[in-house]
Structure 1
Amino acid sequence: MTTHRMTLLRILLILLIALGALGAGVWVDYQRFEKTPIALDRESIVFDIPVGSSLGQIAERLTERGAIPHPYYFIALAYRRGDQARIKAGEYTLTAAMTPVEVLDHLVRGKVVQYPITLVNGWTFRRAVEAIDAHPHFGGEGLAALSDAELMARLGHPGEHPEGRFFPDTYAFPRGTTGIDVLRRAMQRMKLVLAEEWAGRAENLPVETPYEALILASIVEKETAATHERAKIAGVFVRRLRMGMRLQTDPTVIYGMGERYEGDIRRSDLREATAYNTYVIDGLPPTPISLPGRGTIHAVLHPADGDALFFVSKGDGTHKFSATYAEHKRAVRRYILGK
């Protein structure tokens, strides 16, 4: 073997050793990358992946945010795990404690940021729509400008009155959710809750359908914020319905007045013949007047026993219950007139 050929073999051997050493170094560095928490300048960040982003674009953006030193190892990690096409679009919370492996798991599982919105017990449907419209992350559709009929048609329930059909609760949604999506979920939840409560109802109630129970629950919801009084007030209304007495409840008068209500009910308002004025009409109004919660629906379907037919506010959030009109008049003099 010539000297020249020996030299070439030595050079080739040196190159192979160098490449092997380099490869081993890269592999060790890659393994360190997998186990080392990402680098953030704060405890957590919100990382947004737009729809249609490629793996390379995602890795580049992680690098730009300073979370990883360069994109190549993250791309290799995704291919090594078979996740290169499984990352889902959306907003993600990444914390400084996460390793790249945990970040990838997060993105593949689609654990996007959820934004809460609360629909409050006793709100009207219109108040709920306004709150959804005003939400910074999925409002702004202008739902409040649509009529009740238009909204119910968009929800797939044309011809139905919306009041009371949406369950008050705190819901969480990702960015990009529409206001109609929020309403649809709240409607589905109310259907489920009402069906469950109706199935376990007490016997011999003067409400014949789940919808009638919903109407009565919406009235009880507006009458008291005291949880322990719901069943007692439901009991008063149930006894009145059984006896053919009018409900004579102020919240129905207020609902019937609509935008004309300015904080006071006058004698003329109590005599006004609206579809909702239970001082004038017999039985229940035609629709609910608010969004009742599960506890109130349960109370209406399990009213408290007793003989009370009247109640009056004591001014502290609770009520004085009376069995006779004479007792009720004395309670009114004490708690309302201050005599």
Structure 2
Amino acid sequence: MNRPIKFNLDSLEICKSSKAITDNITFIIPFADSQNHKFIGGSVSFQWYSNFLYFMELMELCSDKRETILCEVLEPSLIMFFMFDGESEFSMLEGDFLNHPVRGAYYATLNNRDVYKATFEPGKNIILYISLRMEWILREELALPNLNKFLSFSLKSGGSVEYMEKLFMSRSLAKELIRIWHVPQLEDNDLESALLPMIKNILKIYDKAQDYRIHLSEMSNEEKIHEIRGYLRAGCLSSKITDIQSLCNRFFMTERTLRRLFYKLEKKTIIDFVTDHRLEHSKVLLIQKILPVKEISKRCGFASSNYFCRLFSKKYNFTPKTFRLRMAL
């Protein structure tokens, strides 16, 4: 397959590029082509491999500040997206929000030709995407019924971007993905024979997991908390995300187990966890958007602007307005 996505790195002001992957890269794919770039305050690396059925690329971006790059989809593409580390946000060029993957999230998406914005939080961000030949998936109606149905419906609807259910990786799925990195450098035919069963198995895991009961039945309660953490982070701007009964129903846990295990693993309550993420997002809006505090409060899921201001002042020792003024200096 041809490369489906072109990353425009002009905004990073690259100062040095090399085909060699440096030692500080988290995952090294021995059989992949690679490119490494350094810029002031960080680095970004790409490792990719392609054959007739799919194109696979691993990207690792490390930066000491928030970074936004443009991603051009070169041809209509069905993509499995995996966020191994970090936190990002995808949007249209006009600013319309598309998705907010956080660490551990994965999902399928169908993208038409267009240019999108990808914004990454400071620190380490690692993403893997696998672009799948659509004719292959359309033939796999029995093996991949949910992916097949999603693709068929999306192609008919003609939307710019379509998504399947966002899930969070279990340890077993993460291990299956990392197995790919450990395939030795073989001859082309042998390499394809070794990789294809792994790719098919990953697709089958995701397809099967669309039945959420099956997806969760393979997890321990501790793994469910990891899933819940990602679910809360991704949906923290919704005012109803902290409804305990809804969480219990969605993740098939008792309220007592949910509260006890979440506090044990996170050292904070569910409400405090979500509030922290809402406040962090409000800082971004205060810096980047010319919005009144009342509107920011509403967008971040707070019941009232007064309540938002009290929480913000308590956490950061500044009111939202004072914080905005100080950041503008």
- TM-score normalised per structure 2: 0.25
Q: Which has the larger radius of gyration?
A: 1
**Structure with the bigger percentage of helix:** 1
**Structure with the bigger percentage of strand:** 2
